[in-house]
Structure 1
Amino acid sequence: MDFWILLTGSLAAVSCAVLGCFLILRRMALMGDAISHSVLPGIVVAYMISGSRDSILMLVAAAIMGLLCVFLIQWFNNRGIQSDASIGVIFTSLFAIGVVLVSLNARQVDLDLDCVLYGEIAYTAWNTLQIGGMDLGPRSVWLLGGTLLLVLTVIGLFYKQFKLCAFDPMLALALGIPAALFHYLLMGLVSVATVSSFESVGAILVVGLLVIPPSTAYLLTDRLGAMILISAACGVASTVLGFALAVWLDASIAGCIVAAAAILFAVTFLLSPKHGLLFARLRRTRLSRSTA
């Protein structure tokens, strides 16, 4: 069972880490937070229609809600509302609608706030995919594996376009690259990755996986390719360390995974050769001595 927990957590962490790099570079970390909460109404409605938390309809509904959230935020921005205010209004409103829908239907369906907010990765091995009487392993592994494959395929096919849009969207437009299209494509991938990770880490903690590993990688390199690889490695390391911490403390696995990611970030923030706090202080000390 431990293997399936580690594999599920690693798949979720890598999917979020890869996409999070582009969110960090575009200074849209809060957008990931907004999307991870705003997809909740889509998830609830899809569950009420299909009766399953593993349906493709749920992924589609989540992606639609994520894109709707991004569209509404952009629409308010274009009409003079500040970006942070737009994000706060839209994602809290959509999330509140989702909470109300869950509360109204919690007695009729197997869906509750603990499921969508915190997730429970410990139950991964027991919810298996069976086809023709054959047990193919945990459903979440197949779902997250498919999501990771989708993310890597799309990013791989359009890597140059995503990279240019992240660093210089105006140049991308000048070169004929539809920056808006790739913006919404990225947001759609974030929505799919978010809902795929719901069952394992939940809506709140998935934000940590979207932001913390990429932020750690950002402190270690100035190259996007290396940043993606380091971010993914940090996500996997956070999963392994977090699981060990959860076993030791007998605590929430998902919470410990994000806590481990935060510890890695804190260590990197202190010791990073280029941006680390201690190295920056050491350089200032040497400079002051050389000029004295």
Structure 2
Amino acid sequence: MNADLVIILTAILVSTASALVGSFLVLRRMALLSDAISHAVLPGIVLAYWLSGGERATVPALLGAAAAGLVTVVLVEWLTRTGKVKNDAAIGIVFPALFSLGVLAVSLFFRNVHLDMDAVLYGEIAYAPFNTLNLWGREVPESWLVMGSLTLLNLLFVLLFYKELKLSTFDPGLAAALGLAPGALHYGLMTLVSFTSVGAFQSVGAILIVAFLIIPPATAYLLTRRLPVMIALAVGVGVVSSLAGYALAIWLDASIAGMMATVAGLCFTLAFLFSPVEGYLTARLRRERQRLEVAARLLVAHLAHHDQPVPEGEVLEEFGWNPRFLKQVREKARQAGWLEVVREGLRPTARGLAMSSALLEPDP
């Protein structure tokens, strides 16, 4: 089977599974908790490996990871409810402790097996084509089976409980009043995050799974305010990051997982700067246009109170503007057809007088 296809499809499945649950984490302001879970599942994996007698099995690892993820969520929420520490501090306390416990267990008791810290942290998606299972007489990449199943599971969860997830995300109080059990949905979502994290460990490692859980949904959040569109955009950003990241990694002979995470970060940067909804530069340009329009209307209203053209020097003195800003305001008003420049100064046009009259008329 083509190795490039295996790697690319594995990355797409990981990014898609992550985007489906990560979108709700971002909306619930729990993005850092996904980072905590993706690291804290390690002791659960180690425990499952020990209980299964050292067998390399995916199902026990998934169950152990889910248990560790739920323990992480419960401990974080318990610490937060005590009122002694804030939520972010509770996350910072719980996940390093659990992750360190897992690392110690690996280094002390499983030194000669496949559970090594480099694989957990970084993974190596380039090895995905070599990890295969025999399915109906054909060799199928294990990553396809695992991540394909998890992607389908996450998709079914979102589709079946979409209304409940949406309501409990934006108004958990109302969801509880309507009997939708937001607590059960919360722990179900965290369980799927745990499943997705451990399912992607062997292929991509903790760093890329955290990137795919947070960055594409955060990017989509900057681009839209509609939940279905946000989920679709998050999936799309993950797919683009997978394809472009792999192509750039091959071209530059760099880390595949690292390049995919870098491309996802670049997508977020572009959305942060240029998003029509929440883009930093877009918002600044919009505010600047609004500022100029308000100033232009104010200038025309001022000119409308004079029978003769008003010299620009008098306008500068009246409003306290600098010449550069006055020039921008004058051009804005001229483009709108509100004023004209004559030898004596500035005067409003008929259109400007009409606008000024409408602006100064009291509301009925």
Equivalent in the alignment of 1:119? 123
- Secondary structure of the corresponding residue to residue 219 of structure 1: helix
Give the count of matched residue pairs.
291
> Identity of paired residues, percent?
51
TM-score, normalised via structure 1 length: 0.97
Equivalent in the alignment of 2:305? none
User: Of the candidates 79, 86, 95, which is equivalent to residue 91 of structure 1?
Assistant: 95
User: Of the candidates 164, 168, 173, which is equivalent to residue 167 of structure 2?
Assistant: 164
User: Is the 1:14–1:236 contact (alpha carbons within 8 Å) kept by the matching residues of 2?
Assistant: yes
Equivalent in the alignment of 1:261? 264
Moved more, 161-170 or 272-281: 272-281
Q: Any idea what the Cα deviations from partners look like across 1:47-82, whole Å, max 9, x if unmatched?
A: 234334442011011001000100011111111121
User: Of the candidates 4, 9, 22, which is equivalent to residue 11 of structure 2?
Assistant: 9
In the TM superposition, residue 233 of structure 1 has moved relative to its aligned partner by 0.7
For 1:109 and 1:187, how far apart are their aligned partners in 2?
Answer: 29
Letter in 2 for 1:121: I
- Secondary structure of the corresponding residue to residue 130 of structure 1: strand
In the TM superposition, residue 273 of structure 1 has moved relative to its aligned partner by 0.8
Task: Report whether the alignment pairs 1:48 with 2:72.
Answer: no
Equivalent in the alignment of 1:224? 227
Matches within 5 A, 1:57-72: 57-72=60-75
Equivalent in the alignment of 1:104? 108
- Secondary structure of the corresponding residue to residue 223 of structure 2: coil
Runs of 4+ with >4 A deviation: none
Task: Report whether the alignment pairs 1:29 with 2:5.
Answer: no
Equivalent in the alignment of 1:146? 149
Letter in 2 for 1:140: S
In the TM superposition, residue 266 of structure 1 has moved relative to its aligned partner by 0.6
Q: Any idea what the Cα deviations from partners look like across 1:96-146, whole Å, max 9, x if unmatched?
A: 0011011113433122111111111101111100146x2331111100000
Task: Report whether the alignment pairs 1:195 with 2:198.
Answer: yes
Letter in 1 for 2:25: L
In the TM superposition, residue 228 of structure 1 has moved relative to its aligned partner by 0.4
- Secondary structure of the corresponding residue to residue 27 of structure 1: coil
For 2:138 and 2:202, how far apart are their aligned partners in 1?
Answer: 20
Taking structure 1 as reference, are residues 54 and 238 closer, same or farther at Cα in structure 2, changes over 3 Å only?
Answer: farther
Moved more, 47-56 or 147-156: 47-56
Q: Any idea what the Cα deviations from partners look like across 1:235-276, whole Å, max 9, x if unmatched?
A: 011000110111112111111111110011111111111111
Equivalent in the alignment of 2:247? 244
Indicate the RMSD between aligned Cα atoms, in angstroms.
1.2
For 1:107 and 1:279, how far apart are their aligned partners in 2?
Answer: 53
User: Is the 1:200–1:254 contact (alpha carbons within 8 Å) kept by the matching residues of 2?
Assistant: no
Letter in 2 for 1:163: K
Q: Any idea what the Cα deviations from partners look like across 1:155-208, whole Å, max 9, x if unmatched?
A: 111110011111110110111111110010000000000001101211122111
Letter in 2 for 1:209: F
TM-score, normalised via structure 2 length: 0.78
- Secondary structure of the corresponding residue to residue 137 of structure 1: strand
Task: Report whether the alignment pairs 1:20 with 2:18.
Answer: no
Taking structure 1 as reference, are residues 141 and 60 closer, same or farther at Cα in structure 2, changes over 3 Å only?
Answer: same
- Secondary structure of the corresponding residue to residue 109 of structure 1: coil
Q: Any idea what the Cα deviations from partners look like across 1:19-46, whole Å, max 9, x if unmatched?
A: 1100011000011011011100011222
User: Is the 1:5–1:122 contact (alpha carbons within 8 Å) kept by the matching residues of 2?
Assistant: yes
User: Is the 1:128–1:135 contact (alpha carbons within 8 Å) kept by the matching residues of 2?
Assistant: no
For 2:285 and 2:57, how far apart are their aligned partners in 1?
Answer: 52
Taking structure 1 as reference, are residues 5 and 52 closer, same or farther at Cα in structure 2, changes over 3 Å only?
Answer: farther
* Structure 1: segments with no counterpart, 5+ residues: none
For 2:272 and 2:112, how far apart are their aligned partners in 1?
Answer: 47
